[in-house]
Amino acid sequence: MKRTAPVLIALNLLFWIMLVVHVIKAALIMISYVGNMISPPGAEDMEKDLSALFGYSAGHYSLVVLLMIALNLLKAWISWLAVKTVRVFKPETPFAPSITRRVAKLSRLIFATAFLALGASVYTKWLSQYVTVEVEWSSTPMILLAGVVYAFGYFFRKASGISKPNSFQ
């Protein structure tokens, strides 16, 4: 059991880094958006060059930026739930009901994030018929990740129903 402690510490650190990165990304996109709405000429200082989209339609530009912010905040929330799950995980009772609930919540949130990314991808693909929009939403890997986490959640739910609290010592 002592070999799992460094792995859990490394996972916790990794999830914290992911959380901070996504929060900072969302904040930078928000700041850039506000700056671009106040001083319109430069929509290119964002993560992606959206100046052509801004010139085409401020409404579509705002929606794409809102989707970028929402996806980064959802990814930050996923990281936060992962931090909380790793923090309460105990190798002696891996299928505890609290862990099972957290993994199930995590899988639902990842599914919702993946489908939002898929919707954003479809929207920008449609929008690219009229104007150049170069935003990668990473919807396919998100859906794959959602499926894997859902399978783990299902496994945890089933395993928690058949295991006793102290059966893994």
- Count of structural domains, the chain: 1
| Lowest-confidence pick of 98-102, 120-124, 144-148, 160-164 | 160-164
The helix/strand/coil state of 163 is coil
DSSP string, 30-99: HHHHHHHHHSTT-TTSSSS--HHHHHH-HHHHHHHHHHHHHHHHHHHHHHHHHHHHHHH--TTSTT-HHH
Tell whether 169 is covered by a domain: no
Distances (CA, A) of 3 to 7, 9, 14, 136: 7, 11, 18, 38
Q: Using one digit for the tens of pLDDT, what is the confidence trace for 53-69?
A: 888 888 999 999 999 99
Which residue range(s) make up the domain with 97?
4-162
Give the relative orientation of helices 4-38 and 58-88 as an angle to the nearest 10 degrees: 160
**167 falls within a domain:** no
Residue 126 binned pLDDT confidence (cut-offs 50, 70, 90): very high
Does residue 13 sit within a domain?
yes
